[in-house]
């Protein structure tokens, strides 16, 4: 057998150097015939052959002893084992055996050098191998332009092919170019590239060089195309193979690591678990379908893909939502009242409200859940009341602050397509509560802001709307969740900044500040025992005297609520506990002296702001989100040109009330004993200290008026007296808001007398009795009543005339409420 052999392993080598002379064209010579299959030997080419057929081996053994010249002729049909002359092509190649290697299994490998084309003329013998007479063939060649072009073309094609065939070295291109003639070029290239043997035989038989080159061009073009397409396919296959292989390898490694860590089949187990959880979660049918769809998707995502984590996190959220978890409301009124009273002192109306709600629930289980809004200064117990209601009802409690929430997505979540997306505050809270009907406290809804991220209050509207919230769709979950059983309680310091649409949805319950007495009681009954419990100080048997607590209330805190007091009391207890533990001889009962010792110098002077020592100032009452406060209003006059200067960050409404007050004074100057032309060459400056805090509202009107009149008449404001009320140009005093807070603030500041609009008299009923009994209220209709009550009498002459004209200025006794007197028309 003879075929192509690319590799020759070393075996025995025999024979001596060959003789390679080129025969004359036309000369005839008898040669032994080596039939070859599937290949063709070209003149001047080297062809390695494996030889196995017996006849061929015999032939080679004979020729190696002689001149090593043979005729290499291709078989027409490669499958014929014992070819006769009929099975061979007529044209072959005379060749010289350069080398013969013998393998241990008696097969040979030979290297044959092609010498010349030959044609069979006459068979001579069949045994022991074929022998025949051959005629050496010449070739017809020309050096015309076309031939040159064909040579150039063929070498170029060859060069391109070499680049694509790794087994042919690049130097082959240079060798091809260096061949002595066009015919040699064609033969050289044809011998090096792989072509079907018929095509090679065809080339061998084409004696006209021009035609041979043309034929070769066509064949090369075809092969090139095949190679190039093949290369393209290979490179794209390679690319995806590389990618796949990389992933595959990484996965295998990961798998191995997992196994090593004992986490094998983790993924499968996880899927099973999720599936079981979906079954158990009690989702509504549509939601369940969605969860199952997502699970099916998840199973097809490889665990290492980022997408997998996204889908899994989503499913975890879905299964952990309390779709079907509802707590049973405890509707026992007695128990509820007990809990509420246990946790909170006072707040009776609010407690009643809660109990009423319970009664309704008893009669109608699916009664609409009200949405409550607790409004009041910080530390007045809004949050703790919420907790207490939850405890009374036996509901889970969750709290979510909305302060500074400016993005709708914080309420409603981000769509799952965002990286790191999560559900919004509401759904997160519900999951934390692990119940579908918790008491959900939304703190600080007055501090919601809206900007370009969308309006969070509109999302909140949906949450708090009983018509819509049974199918609240969070962007992340993307399936409806029923919030209708949730008891929402919102809290706010002020209602003004709560969007009106939101305000309308809620039942507003106001918690105002506490009086000193209430604070004292709350401290004794609730805050101190609570602090002892929370700090584990029971064994020390610590206690406070009432004076110590009141000292903390008056001199270390100044607030409507209880936060700072609670902190300072706890502070005192911890300090005492520390000293006792350190072995110091500290008293277990804390009195006022100990308080000062432990807390340092007093921070507030009770009567600091309440006395005014010169004309040109008055005390107003302001309402702020942290409770009522006393405001000092100062006025000064200087030469100028009728300008009213207002400072202290006053809002427009307050500025206008100052204008109105001034106009009223100018038009009634004579009545107050003020020179009517006082403003002709003067500027008036009104300032409200604590200039950094913005102030607004019409209720400072009467105080502004009083400060200016005091300045212009030289009459000083009475001590411990403050006022509130809006003023009109004609000097009417109009109703204002926040009276209860203002009165409590005044009380805290040590004010004894409060002048207020007569129309507000009804509001005084809300003021706790212990405050009312310590204060005097003077309801008024007009500004001149205010002036008479607020300012000390004018010195000497003015006082006499005033006494003649009007009722004597009189401040009522404590506990008494003066009936407003209409002023006599002036003469
Ligand atoms: P808010 O939420 O209004 O700012 P908190 O609920 O935080 O106020 O109340 C501050 C502290 O005062 C809490 O420890 C609370 O228990 C206590 N507290 C408030 N009001 C009362 C009250 N009426 N009785 C007992 N403790 C109260």
Distance 384 CA to ligand 1 centre (A): 5
Atom of ligand 1 nearest to the CA of 386: 6
Give the model's pLDDT for residue 132.
Answer: 94
Atom of ligand 1 nearest to the CA of 443: 2
Q: Identify the residue whose C-alpha is closest to ligand 1 atom 26.
A: 344
Q: DSSP label at 826?
A: P
Q: DSSP label at 9?
A: -
Strands 91-102 vs 12-13: parallel, antiparallel or unpaired: antiparallel
Distance 381 CA to ligand 1 centre (A): 3
Give the model's pLDDT for residue 825.
Answer: 31
Distance 424 CA to ligand 1 centre (A): 28
CA nearest neighbour of 116 among 23, 198, 191, 180: 23
Instruction: List residues near ligand 1 (CB under 6 A).
Output: 344-347, 378-384, 522, 526, 561-563, 566
Please state, in angstroms and as integers, the Cα–Cα distance from residue 490 to each residue in 437, 494, 505, 748, following that order: 16, 12, 11, 28
Per-10-residue mean pLDDT, the chain, length 827:
39 42 88 92 90 88 90 91 92 92 83 93 90 91 86 91 84 86 90 89 92 92 87 77 76 73 71 90 92 89 81 92 90 89 87 84 76 89 91 92 84 85 92 93 84 77 87 92 92 85 87 85 92 85 88 86 91 89 85 88 67 86 81 90 87 89 91 86 87 74 93 90 92 89 87 93 87 91 92 65 42 42 33
Distance 189 CA to ligand 1 centre (A): 100
**From 109, 457, 699, 710, the catalytic residue:** 699
Atom of ligand 1 nearest to the CA of 384: 6
Distance 456 CA to ligand 1 centre (A): 28
SS3 label, residue 610:
coil
Q: Determine the straight-line distance between the first and last CA of the chain, rounded to whole angstroms.
A: 150
SS3 label, residue 332:
coil
Distance 586 CA to ligand 1 centre (A): 30
Q: Kindly state the helix (H) or strand (E) to which residue 187 belongs, with its residue range.
A: helix 182-192
What does 345-408 look like in DSSP terms, one character per residue?
SS-HHHHHHHHHHHHHHHH-TTPPPP-EEEE-STTSSHHHHHHHHHHHHT--EEEEE-TT---H
Give the model's pLDDT for residue 820.
Answer: 36
Atom of ligand 1 nearest to the CA of 380: 3
- Please tell me the distance from the alpha carbon of residue 487 to that of residue 507, in angstroms, as a whole number: 12
All residues at 6 or more sequence positions from 485 whose CB lies less than 8 Å from its CB, including other chains: 326, 369, 436, 437
Question: Best substitution site from 562, 563, 565, 627 to test ligand 1's pocket, by max atoms within 8 Å of Cβ?
Answer: 562
Q: Which two tokens stand for residue 386?
A: 């919420």
Which residues are bridge partners to 131 per DSSP? Answer: 32, 125
Q: Identify the residue whose C-alpha is closest to ligand 1 atom 6.
A: 381
Distance 561 CA to ligand 1 centre (A): 8
CB atoms within 10 A of CB 815: 11
- Please tell me the distance from the alpha carbon of residue 818 to that of residue 689, in angstroms, as a whole number: 30
Question: Best substitution site from 341, 373, 384 to test ligand 1's pocket, by max atoms within 8 Å of Cβ?
Answer: 384
Question: Best substitution site from 339, 381, 509, 625 to test ligand 1's pocket, by max atoms within 8 Å of Cβ?
Answer: 381
Annotated active-site residue 742? The verdict is yes
- Please tell me the distance from the alpha carbon of residue 373 to that of residue 675, in angstroms, as a whole number: 53
- Please tell me the distance from the alpha carbon of residue 658 to that of residue 732, in angstroms, as a whole number: 14
Distance 527 CA to ligand 1 centre (A): 9
Distance 526 CA to ligand 1 centre (A): 9
SS (H, E, C) 505-551: HCEEEECCCCCHHHHHHHHHHHHHHHHHHHHCCHHHCCEECHHHHHH
Distance 355 CA to ligand 1 centre (A): 20
Q: Identify the residue whose C-alpha is closest to ligand 1 atom 18.
A: 381
Q: Identify the residue whose C-alpha is closest to ligand 1 atom 20.
A: 381
Q: DSSP label at 555?
A: I
Place of tokens 């969308």: 454
Q: Kindly state the helix (H) or strand (E) to which residue 552 belongs, with its residue range.
A: none
Q: Identify the residue whose C-alpha is closest to ligand 1 atom 5.
A: 381
Question: Best substitution site from 380, 530, 560, 564 to test ligand 1's pocket, by max atoms within 8 Å of Cβ?
Answer: 380
Please state, in angstroms and as integers, the Cα–Cα distance from residue 178 to each residue in 164, 170, 191, 525, following that order: 21, 14, 15, 113
Is it true that the peptide bond before 26 is cis, omega within 30 degrees of 0?
no
Q: Identify the residue whose C-alpha is closest to ligand 1 atom 10.
A: 379
Atom of ligand 1 nearest to the CA of 562: 12
Q: Which two tokens stand for residue 371?
A: 């949405």
Q: Which two tokens stand for residue 632?
A: 């000092």
- Please tell me the distance from the alpha carbon of residue 427 to that of residue 317, in angstroms, as a whole number: 9
Atom of ligand 1 nearest to the CA of 376: 3
Contact 659, 698 (CB under 8 A): no
Please state, in angstroms and as integers, the Cα–Cα distance from residue 435 to each residue in 320, 324, 358, 676, following that order: 10, 8, 19, 73
Atom of ligand 1 nearest to the CA of 511: 3
- Residues listed for the chain: 827
**From 200, 396, 695, 742, the catalytic residue:** 742
CA nearest neighbour of 699 among 637, 631, 645, 747: 631
Annotated active-site residue 584? The verdict is no
CB atoms within 10 A of CB 52: 16
Q: Identify the residue whose C-alpha is closest to ligand 1 atom 24.
A: 344
Question: Best substitution site from 345, 354, 379 to test ligand 1's pocket, by max atoms within 8 Å of Cβ?
Answer: 379
Atom of ligand 1 nearest to the CA of 344: 24
Query: DSSP E strands: which ranges in 104-200?
Result: 108-125, 131-136
Give the model's pLDDT for residue 17.
Answer: 43
Q: Kindly state the helix (H) or strand (E) to which residue 74 belongs, with its residue range.
A: strand 69-74
SS3 label, residue 493:
coil
- 543 phi, psi to nearest 5 deg: -155, 165
Q: Identify the residue whose C-alpha is closest to ligand 1 atom 9.
A: 381
Q: Identify the residue whose C-alpha is closest to ligand 1 atom 1.
A: 379
């Amino acid at each position: 057998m003879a075929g192509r052999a690319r590799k020759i392993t070393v075996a025995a080598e025999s024979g001596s150097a060959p003789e390679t002379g080129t025969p004359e064209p036309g000369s005839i010579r008898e040669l032994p015939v080596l039939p070859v299959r599937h290949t063709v030997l070209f003149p001047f080419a080297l062809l390695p052959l494996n030889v196995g057929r017996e006849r061929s081996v015999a032939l080679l053994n004979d020729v190696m002893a002689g001149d090593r010249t043979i005729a290499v002729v291709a078989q027409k049909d490669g499958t014929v084992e014992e070819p006769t002359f009929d099975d061979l092509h007529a044209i072959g190649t005379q060749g010289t055996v350069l080398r013969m290697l013998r393998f241990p299994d008696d097969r040979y490998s030979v290297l044959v050098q092609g010498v010349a084309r030959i044609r069979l003329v006459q068979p001579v013998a069949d045994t022991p191998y074929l022998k025949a007479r051959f005629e050496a063939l010449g070739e017809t060649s020309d050096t015309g332009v076309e031939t040159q072009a064909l040579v150039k073309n063929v070498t170029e094609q060859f060069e391109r092919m070499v680049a694509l065939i790794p087994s042919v070295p690049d130097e082959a291109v240079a060798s091809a170019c260096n061949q002595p003639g066009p015919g040699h070029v064609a033969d050289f290239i044809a011998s090096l590239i792989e072509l079907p043997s018929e095509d090679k035989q065809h080339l061998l038989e084409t004696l006209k060089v021009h035609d041979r080159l043309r034929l070769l061009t066509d064949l090369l073009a075809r092969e090139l195309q095949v190679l190039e397409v093949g290369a393209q396919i290979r490179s794209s296959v390679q690319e995806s193979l590389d990618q796949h292989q990389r992933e595959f390898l990484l996965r295998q490694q990961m798998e191995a690591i997992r196994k090593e860590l004992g986490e094998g089949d983790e993924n499968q187990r996880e899927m099973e678990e999720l599936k079981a959880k979906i079954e158990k979660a009690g989702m509504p049918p549509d939601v369940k379908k969605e969860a199952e769809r997502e699970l099916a998707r998840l199973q097809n995502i490889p665990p290492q893909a980022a997408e997998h984590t996204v889908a899994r996190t989503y499913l975890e959220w879905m299964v952990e939502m309390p779709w079907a978890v509802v707590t049973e409301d405890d509707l026992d009124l007695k128990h509820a009242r007990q809990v509420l009273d246990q946790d909170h002192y006072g707040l009776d109306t609010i407690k009643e409200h809660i109990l009423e709600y319970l009664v309704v629930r008893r009669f109608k289980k699916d009664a609409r859940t009200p949405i409550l809004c607790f409004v009041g200064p910080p530390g007045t117990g809004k949050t703790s009341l919420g907790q207490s209601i939850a405890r009374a009802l036996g509901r889970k409690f969750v709290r979510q602050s909305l302060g500074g929430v400016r993005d709708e997505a914080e309420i409603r979540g981000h769509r799952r397509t965002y990286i790191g997306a999560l559900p919004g505050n509401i759904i997160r809270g519900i999951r934390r509560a692990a119940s579908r009907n918790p008491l959900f406290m939304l703190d600080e809804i007055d501090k919601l802001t809206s900007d370009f991220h969308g309006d969070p209050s509109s999302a909140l509207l949906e949450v708090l709307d009983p018509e819509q919230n049974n199918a609240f769709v969070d962007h992340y979950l993307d399936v409806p969740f029923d919030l209708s059983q949730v008891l929402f309680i919102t809290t706010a310091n002020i209602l003004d900044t709560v969007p009106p649409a939101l305000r309308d949805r809620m039942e507003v319950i106001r918690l105002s500040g506490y009086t000193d007495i209430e604070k004292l009681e709350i401290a004794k009954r609730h805050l101190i025992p609570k602090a002892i419990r929370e700090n584990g100080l029971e064994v020390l048997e610590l206690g406070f005297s009432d004076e110590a607590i009141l000292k903390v209330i008056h001199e270390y805190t100044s607030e409507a609520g209880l936060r700072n007091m609670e902190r300072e009391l706890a502070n005192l207890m911890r300090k005492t506990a520390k000293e006792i533990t350190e072995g110091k001889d500290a008293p277990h009962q804390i009195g006022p002296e100990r308080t000062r010792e432990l807390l340092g110098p007093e921070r507030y002077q009770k009567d600091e702001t309440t006395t005014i020592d010169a004309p040109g100032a008055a005390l107003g009452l302001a309402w702020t989100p942290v409770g009522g406060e006393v405001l000092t209003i100062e006025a000064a006059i200087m030469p100028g040109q009728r300008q009213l200067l207002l400072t202290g960050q006053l809002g427009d409404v307050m500025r206008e009330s100052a204008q109105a007050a001034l106009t009223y004074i100018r038009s009634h100057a004579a009545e107050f004993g003020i020179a009517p032309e006082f403003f002709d060459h003067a500027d008036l400056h009104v300032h409200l200290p604590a200039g950094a805090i913005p102030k607004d509202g019409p209720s400072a009107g009467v105080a502004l008026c009083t400060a200016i009149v005091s300045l212009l008449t030289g009459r000083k404001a009475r001590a411990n007296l403050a006022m509130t009320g809006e003023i009109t140009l004609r000097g009417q005093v109009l109703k204002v808001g926040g009276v209860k807070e203002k009165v409590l603030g005044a009380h805290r500041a040590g004010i004894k007398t409060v002048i207020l609009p007569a129309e507000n008299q009804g509001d005084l009923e809300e003021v706790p009795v212990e405050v009312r009994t310590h204060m005097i209220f003077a309801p008024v209709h007009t500004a001149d009543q205010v002036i008479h009550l607020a300012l000390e009498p004018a010195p000497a002459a003015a006082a006499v005339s005033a006494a003649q004209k009007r009722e004597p200025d009189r401040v009522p006794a404590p506990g008494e409420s003066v009936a407003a007197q209409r002023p006599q028309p002036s003469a």
